[in-house]
Amino acid sequence: MTTNEVTGRRRRGPTDPARRERIAGAAIAVVAERGVEGLTHRAVAAAAGVPLGSTTYHFATLDELLAVALRTAAEANVERMRDWAQSLPPAADLPAALADLVMLGLTVERPQTVVGYELYVAALHRPYLRPASTAWDDALAEIFASQTDPATGRVLAATFCGLELQLLLRDPPPDRAEIEATFRHAISG
């Protein structure tokens, strides 16, 4: 009945391969808006525009849906940061670039950032999320190390993580200059 805007072929009905990904994406949006405790089959179904039975069909249990959503969001974050590192000129001013990255995470990319930290804390009480959370901060350290050295990479990963988390909770959008100064101070004494 309904047709795909691009190809003109059938989209609904049996065998819709995009359906599962759409549900996972809706789950990420729900977590970003209401937190992990707001993730319910019904909320996700409403956000994805699919019937309730569809979410329980594609994801046997709610834990599975949560795991897929958080892992997908974390992977998207890693990919975004790899792009950031790769597009950095060789002689870039690292503290300035880091400040840009933090500001981006607090504004345009805020939902994905929020979901990342939801993943962290959710993993505290859900062992099956641990692999995803450790993969995320391993990637963080590796990306920063590729711009400096392993020891500095570790420091930057921790500082970046802590600073972003703190700033997410500040009501007035924080001062970019101060963020840059903090990184500059962390890198060179």
Partner DNA sequence: GCAGCTTGTGTACGTTTGTACATTGGAAGC
Partner DNA sequence: GCTTCCAATGTACAAACGTACACAAGCTGC
Length of the chain: 189
Please measure the distance between the N-terminal and C-terminal CA atoms of the chain and give it in whole angstroms.
64
43: tokens are: 């909320």
Q: CB neighbours (10 Å) of residue 70?
A: 27
Q: Does 41 bind DNA (CB under 7 A)?
A: yes
Q: Does 78 bind a copy of itself (CB under 8 A)?
A: no
Spell out, one character per residue from 15 to 54, where the chain touches a copy of itself: x when CB under 8 A holds, - when not: ------------------xxxxxx----------------
Could you give phi then psi for residue 107, rounded to 5 degrees? -115, -85
Q: Mark the segment that binds DNA (CB under 7 A) among 39-47, 74-82, 125-133, 168-176.
A: 39-47
d(CA 16, CA 145): 42
Helix axes 94-106, 176-187, angle to 10 degrees: 130
* Residues 22 and 68: beta-carbon distance below 8 Å: no
# chain residues binding a copy of itself, by CB under 8 A: 43
Among 3, 21, 53, 181, binds DNA (CB under 7 A): 53
Among 3, 4, 61, 166, binds DNA (CB under 7 A): 61
Q: Does 15 bind DNA (CB under 7 A)?
A: yes
**What residue type is assigned to position 47 of the chain?**
A
# chain residues binding DNA, by CB under 7 A: 25
Q: Does 62 bind a copy of itself (CB under 8 A)?
A: no
The contact set with a copy of itself (CB under 8 A) reads: 33-38, 114, 117-118, 120-125, 130, 133-134, 137, 151-152, 154-155, 157-163, 165-166, 168-171, 181-182, 185-189
